[in-house]
Amino acid sequence: MGRGPRELSRLEREIMDAIYRVGEATAADVADEMSNQDSFDSIRVTLGILEKKGVLKKRRDGNRNVYSPAVSVTRAKRSALRHLLHTFFQGSSSKAILTLMDTSKLSEDEFDEIEAMLRKRRKERRQ
């Protein structure tokens, strides 16, 4: 896969976000999808870089290149989360969760969802 999603620049991450949203896209599609004002040429060049890094696949459609993720969104999320945990929380999931709970305005429904997930995981570990 080359370098992982955690090692992407700001523009590379924004392009990947756009492609994950639409599934596959040409450079023009990505430019339309993105909210910033990066030039079309920089987007086109960055798409090529992302392909070389192994996070995008390219296919030809007439005279256009069409790009799609080479890494599932789930795998990309896990890779980015592992990097975040390692960088800021000494690899501790509990430290990250506690920080998130301290800094987020979680609704009662979100607390209930977290509690239910914790109960389910604890039960699975005991079996």
Each residue's pLDDT expressed in tens, for the chain with a length of 127 residues: 444 455 788 899 899 999 999 999 999 999 998 877 778 889 999 999 999 999 999 999 999 999 999 988 898 888 888 888 999 999 999 999 889 888 888 889 998 999 999 999 999 999 8
Q: Where are the domains of the chain?
A: 5-69, 92-127
Lookup: tokens for 39: 């030039």
Lookup: tokens for 22: 């639409």
Q: Name the architecture of domain 5-69.
A: Orthogonal Bundle (1.10)
E-only strand ranges, 1-127? 56-61, 64-69
How far apart are alpha carbons 123 and 7 in whole angstroms?
A: 36
Query: Are the C-beta atoms of residues 56 and 50 closer than 8 Å to each other?
Result: yes
Q: Which of 39, 67, 38 is nearest to 54 (CA)?
A: 67
Lookup: tokens for 99: 């920080």
